[in-house]
Structure 1
Amino acid sequence: MIISNRRITGLAVGVIAELVEEIGPLWQERHQARLTSRPRKQAVGAGSKHRLVFVDRLPATLVHLRHGVTHDVLACWFGVDRSTITRAVGEVRPLLAERGCTVSPDVRLRSLADVVDHLGASGSTGIIDGTEIWVRRLAAGRQDRDKFISGRNKQNAVKSMVVTDAEGRVLWCSPARPGVFGRPVPATRPAPDARTRKLRGHHSRPPVRAGQALGRRARGRDSRRCRLPGLGAQTGGRVVTPPHRKFKKNAPDWYEEMYERQRKAHSSRRIRVEYGIAHLKNWRALARHLGRREHMSDTVQAVAGLLSHQQTADLTSTRQR
C-alpha cells in the first residue's frame, strides 16, 4: 500500500488518515457544487463514475509534492489517464493550501497576523527568513521575463517568506512572489517581503523576533539593498535584526571583538529557521518547480501545512512516550 511507507508520501499513516477525514468532505462538497453549477443534460450522479476516488487522489497529490513525480508516472502507477492525475492534483492542492500550518491539534495559523497573535499569546519566539524556489524561465518575448530573475544566483526563481519557532518548526509560509516589488533582488533578502506582509503594522502586538540571513552578504550593486535598516526601531524593538556595524573602516580591536560576538549570538539563534527551510526543500516540489508558476503559492502553502502537521504529530507522540 502506497500510504504505508512514510518515505513515499512524507507523512505518517495516521496523519494521512486525518487528512482524508478532514479534506474528503470538502472535496466532495466542491465536486457536487461544480456539477450543479452548470447546465446539464443528465441528472447529477448519472454517467460514468470516478476511476480515481478521493482516497487515491490524495496520495497521488502527496507523492507529486514530495518527490516531484510527473503526472505521466503517476498515471501509470494508478492505472488512469494523465489528465485524471492533473485534474486530481489541481483539485486537492488548493484544499491542502487552505488548511494553514498546524501548531497544535486545535490551533491553525493561516496568516501572518495569526502567527503574531500566537507568538504573543504563547510568549515564544518566531524567526523569519526568505527562501527562493527555482522555476522555469519564461519564453523569449514574454512580458516581465526578467521579473523572476534572482539577483544573487542569476536564476529564475520565486521568493517566499518562512516563519518558524525557536526550534525550527514551520509556523507559516507566505504566498510565492516573483522577486520583490517586481524587480530582481538578492535571494538572501527577506526584508521587502516582510514589509509587503505589513510586518511593521503588527509592531504594537506582542514581541516577534525576526532575523535576516548573516554571512551571505550580496556583492556589488545589490549589497546596498540587502539589509533591513531601522526595522527594529520602527517596531519598538519587537523585531530583532542583526547588529548594526558602526565602523566600516579602521574599526578598533575592541569593537571588532564585540561585533563578532553579537553577530555570532544572533546567528546561533536565527539558524533554526534554516533547518525549517531545509525540511521544506526536502519536498521536491519546492526544490525546483517545473510546473506552472501560478500554482506556486498553493504548492508552497500546501507543503508548509503538511510539514507542520507531521511535525506536530511527531512532537505529540514524543511527549506521550
Structure 2
Amino acid sequence: MRPDYHGNPASPKRTSHERAHQLVFTDRVIATLVILRFQLPHAALAVFYGVDRSTVTRAVHEIRPLLAARGFAVPGEAGLRLHTLADVFAYASAKGVELRLDGTEVRVRRPKAGGPGRRAFVSGKIRQNTKKATVVTDGQGRTLWTGAIRPGRMHDQTAVKTEGIEALFEQYPQVKAKVDAGYRGLAKRFPDQVTAPPKKPAKDASAEEITGWEEARKKQSSERICVEHANAEHKQWRPLQRYLGRREYYDQTHLAIAGLVSDRAAER
C-alpha cells in the first residue's frame, strides 16, 4: 500500500460488497423513500451517505419491491390490506362501499428505436410515451387499489378488463361503481352496477334535453371527482409526474407510491 501525503499507510480499497454494508436497513428504507418522493439521482444520495452510488441503487432494488408488495390500506381496518382487484370487490361487497374507477397515465422513457413494441407506449390521448394504471377508490377518495398497469396505447377499459373486472361484477352483483366516459362499455354491460356520464345529446336536441344532460353530467362528475383527487395525491410524488427511470421498474414504483399514499388516506 502506498502511504498518503502525511506519510501514513493508506487504507485498503473497499469492494462494493463491503461498501454495501455501510447502509443499515433503516437507511436503505429512508433512501428508497426519498427517491420515491423526489426522484433524486442515486449519486446525490450516495454523496449524502458517503457511499458508492451502486450501494444506493442496490438498496432501492431491495426495498422498492417490498413496498410494492405491501398492498393497500383499508380504512378503519388496521392490519388489513387489499392486494388484488378481487380483494377490492370482496371488501366493497362486505362493507357496502361504492367504488370509483379512473385511469391515469405517466410519461416514461421512449423505447429504443427499432425495438419491438415501440408504438405500444404511445398514448392516443396525449401523443406521448406513457404507462397507464387504473385507480380504485371509495366515495371519500381513499385509494383501495392501483393496478392494471399497461403501455399507454392500451385503452383504459381494455386494461381493467384484463384484470377480470367483468367477471367480478358478475360475481358481486351488489357492488356498484362510478366511472368516467372511458368505461362506458362497462356501464352498458352492467347498467345496474356501473354509472357513466350520460351521452351528449344530438346537435338538434332541444334546450330542455341539453339542460337535463348538463345537470346529469355535473351530478355524476361531482360524485366521481374524489378519484381524481386520489390521482392528484399520487402525482404529488415526483416519479408519477414524469418517470425518468427504466420502464421495467415503473410498475414497482407506481405500486409502492400508491400503497404509501393509501396508508395516509386510510387515516382520514
Interval of TM-score (by shorter of Structure 1 and Structure 2): 0.7 to 0.9
Does 2:130 match 1:157? yes
Alpha-carbon spacing, 1:49–1:76, altered in 2? closer, same or farther (3 Å)? closer
Structure 2 counterpart of 1:62, from 33, 49, 57? 33
Give the gaps of 5 or more residues in structure 2: 1-16
Secondary structure class of the residue paired with 1:172: strand
How far apart are residue 76 of structure 1 and its match? 0.8
Deviations along 1:113-168, whole A, 9 cap, x unmatched? 11111111111221000000110111222222111111121111000000111111
Query: Which whole-Å CA distance do the structure 2 matches of 1:49 and 1:300 have between them?
Result: 26
**Where does residue 162 of structure 2 map in the other structure?**
196
What fraction of aligned residue pairs are identical, expressed as a percent? 42
Kindly report the root-mean-square deviation, in angstroms, between the aligned alpha carbons of the 2 structures. Answer: 1.9
The secondary structure found in structure 2 opposite 1:174 is strand
Show CA shifts across 1:161-201 (max 9, x none): 0011111111110042113xxxx35xxx5222222222111
**1:146 is the counterpart of 2:119:** yes
TM-score (norm 1): 0.73
Confirm whether residue 134 of structure 1 aligns to residue 104 of structure 2: no
1:296 and 1:63 map into 2 onto residues whose CA distance is: 16
- For residues 221-275 of structure 1, give each alpha carbon's deviation from its aligned partner in whole angstroms, at most 9, with x where no partner exists: xxxxx5523x224235111122234x42301222111111111110001111110
Q: Is the alpha carbon distance of 1:249 and 1:80 closer, same or farther for their aligned partners in structure 2, counting shifts above 3 Å?
A: same
1:167 to 140, 157, 161: 140
Rounded to whole Å, the distance in 2 between the matches of 1:241 and 1:304 is 25
What SS class does the counterpart of residue 144 from structure 2 fall into? strand
CA contact (8 A) 2:19 2:51 kept: no
Match in the other structure for 2:194: 239
Partner Cα distance (2:161, 2:127) in 1: 24
Structure ID, larger Rg: 2
Q: 1:260 aligns with which of 214, 225, 232?
A: 214
What amino acid is aligned across from residue 86 of structure 2 in structure 1? A
Aligned residue among 271, 275, 279 for 2:225: 271
Conservation of the 8 A alpha-carbon contact between 1:148 and 1:157? yes
2:148 and 2:160 in contact (8 A); partners too: no
Residue 20 of structure 1 corresponds to which residue in structure 2? none
Deviations 1:64-104 (A, max 9, x none): 00001110111111111100111110110010011000113
Aligned residues: 248
Q: Superposed, which structure 2 residues align to 1:20-59 within 5 Å?
A: 50-59=21-30
The answer as to whether partners of 1:176 and 1:297 remain within 8 angstroms in 2 is yes
- Gaps of at least 5 residues in structure 1 are 1-45, 214-225, 316-321
Q: Provide the residue aligned with 2:61 in structure 1.
A: 90
Structure 2 counterpart of 1:250, which letter? D
Q: 1:178 corresponds to which residue?
A: 151
Task: Using the TM superposition, give the Cα deviation of residue 48 of structure 1 relative to its aligned residue in structure 2, in angstroms.
Answer: 7.8
Residues 47/296 of structure 1: CA separation in 2 closer, same or farther (3 Å cut): closer
Aligned to 1:25: none
1:75 aligns with 2:46: yes
Moved over 6 A (4+): 46-49
Give the AA of the match of 1:63: V
Aligned-partner residue type, residue 128 of structure 2: Q
1:283 to 2:213 alignment: no
CA distance in 1, matches of 2:122, 2:28: 34
How many Å separate the matches in 1 of 2:188 and 2:212? Answer: 21
Q: Distance in 2 between matches of 1:176 and 1:294?
A: 11
Contact kept? 1:190, 1:212, Cα under 8 Å: no
CA distance in 2 between counterparts of 1:293 and 1:101 reads 23
CA distance 1:227–1:128, change in 2 (3 Å):
closer
TM-aligned CA distance change 1:138 to 1:162, over 3 Å: same
Give the distance between the partners of 1:160 and 1:49, measured in 2 at CA: 34
Letter of the aligned partner of 1:242 in structure 2?
A: P
The residue aligned with 1:228 is 184
How much does 1:47 deviate? 7.5
- Match of 2:266, SS state, is helix
